[in-house]
Amino acid sequence: MKCTDRKKSISFFCLICACALMCTGCGNTPYEMAYQADSKVSSFNVVSGQDRNVAESFASGLCVVTEDVMDDENVDMSRASAAILLDLNGRDILYSKNAHEVLYPASLTKVMTALVALQHGSLDQMLKATPSVNITESGAQLCGLKSGDSMTLDQALRMLLIYSANDAAMLIAENIGGTVENFVEMMNREARRLGATNTHFANPHGLTDPEHYTTAYDLYLILNEAVKYDTFNEIIQMTAYQTTYFDKDGKAKNFDKTTTNLFVRGDYQPPANVNVIGGKTGTTKAAGHCLMLFSRDSGGAPYISVILGSEETETLYREMIDLLDEINK
């Protein structure tokens, strides 16, 4: 299915809007909308082919998913809640299942955390930990930060994206946003700016919260923006990270961890002619096993793939291999 890459005439669009205003007026009489703001439908998911023309004017240069695209029986996503594979240059939908279904993102959240930090912070900015880094949730991935620890934003971003450290997310949020709550609002504002209207963040790390949710399509919008930053692209390709930071007394503390991305680490191999640049992993009991990737084909063309809610790690990576193989077809 072809996505939008159309430059609509501004004057034509304005004419349509003017006609709509004249037809609807300013009274209290209800009128049926061309497409509805359904809570489970992204801003770029429209209900008919005719309405697609309206959406395209807002989404020039972006892929627009309007329906499931599951033509290849060799791609079995029966054990995943949602999945998409998008050709960023051709703006083709190579695969789509439940792209606009609202789901928990787990640590895929941290891509937005990194994006907002890169937008509003500087890499050499010193961050200092407060008690907010003391996360006690069972099973939460941590790098062991304590109140008073200090490091640069650059170091914290690498802990965040490579090792998926939840305490690093809190460190970044409080220092860049002033408070964690303010940083989360910055995340939500950025989501709205990107058109990720079925996304709402409640924290910077992705641990389960009823008010913390997104869609596979919205995650595409977020990752598509993040890969515009060279630092982000550099970090997501790293297989491991070693660094030294300092505690409240100035004593050195060492960090040495490998990436959680099993493609980048080499545990799994992508299909022939597909190069996985990197991405983000995420797992919680509520979210299941999640993965989103930025990849390139043999000619260097970029792709984004997302799988949410898979049953287990092995299944997730086998599903992603099958999904990426669609690039070769």
Which of the residues are catalytic? 107, 110, 164
- Residue 35 makes CB contacts below 8 A (sequence gap 6+) with 46, 47, 48, 51, 54, 55
216-226 helix and 109-120 helix, angle to the nearest 10 degrees? 30
Beta bridge partners of 96: 69, 84
Distance CA 235, CA 87 (A): 22
Instruction: Show the beta-strand stretches assigned E in the chain.
Output: 82-87, 92-97, 126-128, 150-152, 240-246, 252-258, 274-284, 288-297, 302-310
The count of other CB atoms within 10 Å of the CB of residue 253 is 16
Which one, of 2, 41, 61, 35, lies nearest residue 218 by Cα? 41
Tokens 């972006």, residue located: 62
Alpha helices in 9-102 (DSSP H): 10-24, 49-58
Distance CA 85, CA 78 (A): 16
Distance CA 295, CA 307 (A): 14
Tokens 């304590």, residue located: 146
